[in-house]
Structure 1
Amino acid sequence: MLHTLFIENFVLIDRLEVDFHPRMTVFTGETGAGKSIIIGALSLALGQRADSQSIGPFGEQTEIIAEFNIEHNQAARRWLQDQDLADGDVLIIRRTINQQGRSKQWVNGRPTPSGLVKELSQHLVQIHGQHDQIKLLNSHNQRQILDQSGDHALLLKQVQEAVKQIQHIEQEMAQLTAAGSLSAEQLQLLQYQYDELEQLALSEGEYEAQHQALTTAAHAQDLQQVMDASIHTLSQAEQSVSAQLGQVLQRLQHAKGQDFSAIGQMLDEALINVQEAEQQLLVQLEQIDNDPAHLQDIEQRLEQITHIARKQGVMPELLHDHHQTLGQTLQQHHDLAHNQDQLQQQLEQALTDYRQMALKLSTQRTHAGQQLSQQITAMVHDLGLPEARFSVAVEHRPDEPAKTHGNDHIEFMIAANKGQKAQPLSKTASGGELSRISLAIEVSTQQQNQYQVFVFDEVDTGIGGATAEKVGQIMQQLSQHNQVFAVTHLPQVAGCAHDHLLVSKSSHGQHTTSAVAHLDQPQRIEELARMSGGQKITEATLAQAKEFLQTGS
């Protein structure tokens, strides 16, 4: 509940601090006294847009502090905990606005953006005025009212999750498409090139190896002669290198008077290297093919490689890598097509699941609408519309795209008089009817487990008599589980309140100020008499005022 409201330098208010009753409070006073200014100050504290015009003439800035007791408001407590702003059962919201229109806001002493405060306010206060009645005509708001009254919050959440799943799958499909799907022509060309390279079967490094083989084959005869002569010189000739190295080693080993062991080791190693060189020459000699047909085979293979490389626009030495790249691209396309097929199946299943849940939600909304229609119809009968019939039309539209709130179009309908056909509320209801329907909806849809603050800013305009008395009684009924504030000109409504605040206006020097005073019982009777009979108070108006007050006791 709203425990205390502090206002400083706001429009006509110099400085005001007022404590509130936990149940029903009314604000009354002459027109222009500033009753709605207090509601405006509360709205600013709750994050509504502000500007420098809000600042009064009594200081440099406006300051508003609203203190709430949220012991029984579980929704507000959870929100504060989620935002790490909780401070037990007490909630203090403070706001300042300077001459430049700049605003600062705090929640429990911590700086907080106005947008977050506005989000918090949805769990704290509902303010209803002529503007809010206009909002009642909006189909979106009508759907929210119906969903709040129904017992399908879990199903609505499942529908929302189903839509998120659909959107996630569609996003993945779009990303896959953007990642590089191929046209039929592109795919056909790449597949042809890949098949051509598969048939070529070019191994890694083969082109370079074949070039080297061509050089070797072209000089095969000369190479054989050179290798034969070299092998002969190294080991086969009478004075071969190996034989001469052996003779030198033998002489040094038998020489006396000098140590030639180090030199002998060097010669040993030289002899081993000569023998190894001979073996390598023998191996390479065996590999040389002097057959002209072999040279022709190499030339044909190189020509084949070069032809395909030129055909596919690739350097011959890069053809093997190009082959691998084509294979990867085709595999990716295959995987992409496979994944797209899988995603398409997932999407179809997700859409089927969504449609089933949306249809079930529509059925439950229809049932909730019937119950809500009965409750509101009964209440508007008590509010001076005895022939009115309120109804909720739920039209399921399965062919529309999936939406987080389902595929229902909700329309509040009213037949104000007997025999009339029900028409949309937005087309037929008058301002006075909307005021009463709005009040009936609030009472019918209130949540018993969430103690909230309801503010009715002159929503009883255009009614009187027994209807006005019933409006006051219904507001009083609403205050059994909530805190209710009403700005009113009707004594029947004011008489139902548990606390009565009189807003007055007076001039002091160059400034006009508004003040608020709690009225005791005699003062309340006098104010109710003024409201019902004007400035001239008679015994009759006083007697009537006492009746109004007794009605609200």
Structure 2
Amino acid sequence: MLTQLTIHNFAIVKFLELELKSGMTTVTGETGAGKSIAIDALGLALGSRADASTVRPGEKKAEISAIFTVEPSSLAYKWLVEHELNNEDECILRRVITAEGRSKGYINGIPVPLQQLKSISQFLVQVHGQHAHQTLLKPEIQLAILDGYASHTKLQLNVRDGYRTWHNLANEEKKLLQNQQQRAARQQLLQYQVSELDEFALADGEYSQIEAEHRLLANSTELVEECMISADTLYENEDNTICSMLQVVTHRLENLLDMDPKLKSITDTLQEAVVLVEEAGNELRSYTDNLDRDPQQFEYLDERLGKALELARKHQVPADQLATHHHMLKAELENIADDDERIESIKLELAESQSKYNQQAEKLSISRQKYAKQLNKLITASMHELSMENGCFEMVLEAFEHKTPNPHGLDNINFLVSTNPGQPLQALGKVASGGELSRISLAIQVITAQKISTPTLIFDEVDVGISGQTASIVGKLLRQLGEKTQVMCVTHLPQVASKGHQQMYVSKTTDGKTTETCMKALSQEMRIEELARLLGGDKITASTLNNAAEMLV
């Protein structure tokens, strides 16, 4: 529950620190004093949108912090552990807004994105605003009220998961069907291109081999001539050759060894050179003897190389990438064939997914029908308590005409009401007056709040439009709720304010230049005076004081 709320420089609040207790706390004050300002500030700590106007004029920043106690078994505690933000049994939310409009959020002292403040807030506080009766007319709100009371979250998740599966398959089928005509034209072109490349059948790496062999055969005559001349020069010519000249030099130096043995290493080197030259000459001769000069092979290679270049130009790829391009086209052609097969198989998957979705949606509908009957009785009984003795309330659930999967199930909901004898049930917005709608909305909020595990409930002037005995009953209902969970109620009615376990008073002061709002807890005597003011206005008499004292008994 919320134990402390601290506000610095927010709107017309300079500094405010509230210590909050369990049970029902009522908040009262004069009109315009800012009774809801603490709730607005708390909303910022819970992740509500903020701008520079929230900062008190003349200040650099506004800062709001809220301290909650969290039980280890609570959803809030589990969320904190899951996000590695737990701090034993406490959760501290803090929000800082600068005068420039920048904002920072913290959970237990750790900076977090705004979305995380919003995420944990659903497990800490639930706010019922004074305009809730206006949104009550929206079908999506009506369905959310029923689902919140039923607490069948698992059924809702199953329906959403089933819808997501069906939706993804439906989108896939839609895209495949939309592109089917384009794929058919592309398939026809690919079949021709792949057939042409299949016929040529260029292997991986073959183009480089063909190119190298073609170059070799094209230059074979020149290669033979140059190699034979080189061989003759080295060894085979009858005239002077490199080999014979090396032998002459070697022989001369050998004759000088007796004069200087140091020449021995040189003569050895020359003898090795003679051997190497002889070997090089023999290898050249062998190379020229084995050089392939087959004209038919050259013609074949020339034709294949030309065809490869022609196809490469046609497909606008480098010739050495033609084989890779061939593989890519074949793969694309196979994928198109797979897409056509996919269209056939996806129809079966869609039918199966819709069947599974319908099963889950039907379970959700049955649960909704069950809890709708419970709520119908409870809300009707509450209407009777709230001075609508002949009122009757009924939630009507009907399946959509077209049972296309929907993330929220197949139910169309409508809140029907009758407020007078003999009057048929009609849509809530058509029958109920503003005051009746407000009371019905309040009844729904109080009843559904009893089934929600949120530890703190805030009612912000939800008693607008009621008075007298009805107001007393509303106060009684809220106090009963406060016995089970922490309730904070901003009200202008003494009948409601008197039912609180504790009461706070909001006041506004000004020195002509600045304005400041304050909030303080009231003692028993101060509560009597405040209730007397609510009962009798500015003029407080002994009678109104006695009346106020009786209300607190």
> Measured at CA, do residues 523 and 274 of structure 1 come closer, stay the same or move farther in structure 2, by a change above 3 Å?
closer
Are the equivalent residues in 2 in contact too, given 1:306–1:316 (CA < 8 A)?
Answer: no
Give the secondary structure class of the aligned counterpart of 1:459. Answer: coil
CA distance in 2 between partners of 1:69 and 1:62 (Å): 24
AA aligned opposite 2:140: H
What is aligned with 1:440? 443
- Equivalent AA in structure 2 for residue 154 of structure 1: K
1:383 is displaced (CA, Å) by: 1.9
Q: Which moved more, 1:330-339 or 1:257-266?
A: 257-266
Contact 1:55/1:61 (<8 A) preserved = yes
In structure 2, the gaps of 5 or more residues are: 259-263
Q: In 1, distance between residues paired with 2:268 and 2:107? A: 97
Asked whether the equivalents of residues 387 and 417 of structure 1 are also in contact (C-alpha less than 8 Å), the reply is: yes
Pairwise CA distance, 1:546: 4.5
**Residue 344 of structure 1: how far off its partner (Å):** 6.8
CA distance in 1, matches of 2:315, 2:53: 77
Gap change, CA 1:268 and 1:30, over 3 Å in 2? closer
Q: How does 1:133-152 map to 2 (within 5 A)?
A: 133-152=133-152
1:408 Cα deviation from its structure 2 partner:
3.6
Cα separation, 2, equivalents of 1:352 and 1:358: 10
What's 1:187 paired with?
Answer: 187
* Cα deviations by residue, 1:391-439 (Å, 9 ceiling, x for unpaired): 3333433847654433443333333334334333344433323332333
Aligned position for 2:345: 345
Residues 128-167 of structure 1 mapped to structure 2, 5 A cutoff: 128-166=128-166
**What are the residue-to-residue correspondences of 1:145-544 with 2, within 5 Å?**
145-166=145-166, 183-201=183-201, 204=207, 205-206=209-210, 209=213, 266-272=273-279, 276-284=283-291, 299=299, 302-303=302-303, 306=306, 310=310, 313-314=313-314, 321-338=321-338, 341-342=341-342, 345=345, 348=350, 349-397=352-400, 399=402, 402-446=405-449, 450-505=453-508, 514-535=517-538, 541=544, 544=547
| Larger deviation, residues 470-479 vs 76-85 | 76-85
Q: 1:322 to 1:92 in 2, by over 3 A?
A: closer
Whole-Å Cα distance in 1 between the matches of residues 271 and 16 of structure 2? 116
SS of the residue corresponding to residue 35 of structure 1 reads coil
Give the deviation of 1:474 after TM superposition.
1.0
Once residues 110 and 475 of structure 1 are traced to their aligned partners in structure 2, the CA distance between those partners, rounded to angstroms, is 36
Moved more, 163-172 or 129-138: 163-172
Equivalent pairs, count: 536
For 1:37-116, list aligned pairs within 5 A: 37-51=37-51, 53-54=53-54, 62-71=62-71, 74-97=74-97, 104-116=104-116
Q: By how many angstroms is 1:460 displaced? A: 1.4
Task: Give the 3-state SS of the residue equivalent to 2:412 in structure 1.
Answer: strand
* Equivalent-residue separation in structure 2 for 1:63 and 1:214 (angstroms): 87
Sort the Cα spacing of 1:269 and 1:512 in 2 relative to 1 into closer, same or farther, 3 A.
closer
Deviations 1:124-145 (A, max 9, x none): 2222232333233333332222
Question: Partner of 1:292 in structure 2?
Answer: none
2:142 is paired with a residue whose SS is helix
Off by >6 Å, runs of 4+ in structure 1: 57-60, 170-182, 255-262, 315-318
Deviates more, 1:11-20 or 1:486-495: 11-20
Deviations 1:336-362 (A, max 9, x none): 542674487355244443344334333
1:32 aligns with 2:35: no
TM-aligned CA distance change 1:207 to 1:440, over 3 Å: same
Deviation track 1:187-245 (CA, whole Å, cap 9, x = no partner) reads 333333433343344554346646755776xx79xx89x99xx99xx99x999x9xx99
From the superposition, tell whether residues 351 and 209 of structure 1 become closer, same or farther in structure 2 (CA, over 3 Å). Answer: farther
Deviation at 1:67, TM superposition (A): 3.0
After superposition, the Cα gap between the structure-2 partners of 1:181 and 1:320, relative to the gap in structure 1 and judged at 3 Å, is farther
Instruction: Give the whole-Å Cα distance in 2 for the aligned partners of 1:123 and 1:198.
Output: 66
1:477-515 deviations in Å (ceiling 9; x for gaps): 111221112222323222322112333455667666554
- Structure 2: how far apart are the matches of 1:496 and 1:503? 18
**Deviation per residue, 1:261-312 (Å, 9 max, x gap):** 766655555555555555555544xx656xxxxx578647745764685477
Aligned CA distance change for structure 1 residues 72 and 460 (closer, same or farther; 3 Å): farther
* 1:22 CA displacement: 0.8
* C-alpha distance in 1 between matches for 2:507 and 2:112: 34
Structure 1 residue 72 displacement after superposition: 7.2
- Contact 2:383–2:389 (CA<8 Å) still a contact in 1? yes
CA distance, structure 2, for counterparts of residue 148 and residue 331 of structure 1: 52
Shift of the alpha carbon at 1:24? 0.8
CA distance in 2, matches of 1:447, 1:408: 24
Decide whether aligned partners of structure 1 residues 480 and 451 sit closer, same or farther in structure 2, where only a CA change above 3 A counts. farther
> Does structure 1 retain, via aligned residues, the 8 Å contact 2:145–2:448?
yes
AA aligned opposite 2:153 = A
The 1:209–1:166 alpha-carbon spacing in structure 2 relative to 1, beyond 3 Å, is farther
Change (3 A) 1:123 1:438: farther
Q: Which moved more, 1:1-10 or 1:507-516?
A: 507-516
SS of equivalent residue, structure 2 residue 414: strand
Distance 1:125 1:302, change over 3 A: same
TM-score (norm 1): 0.76
Q: 1:530 to 1:263 in 2, by over 3 A?
A: closer
Following superposition, the deviation at residue 469 of structure 1 comes to 1.9
Question: Structure 1 residues 325, 33: CA separation in 2 closer, same or farther (over 3 Å shift)?
Answer: closer
> C-alpha separation between the residues in 2 aligned to 1:433 and 1:163?
38
Q: Secondary structure at the match of 1:130?
A: coil
AA of the residue aligned to 1:123: F
Return the offset for 1:471.
0.9
Pick closer, same or farther for the CA change 1:190–1:448 going to 2, 3 Å. closer
CA–CA distance in structure 1, aligned partners of residues 118 and 268 of structure 2: 100
CA drift at 1:89: 2.5
- Conservation of the 8 A alpha-carbon contact between 1:11 and 1:56: yes
- The residue type equivalent to 2:408 in the other structure is H
* C-alpha contact 1:413 1:423 (8 A) present in aligned 2: yes
Range with bigger deviation, 541-550 or 458-467: 541-550
- What is the letter of the counterpart of residue 440 of structure 2? I
State percent identity of aligned pairs: 36
CA distance in 2, matches of 1:300, 1:316: 24
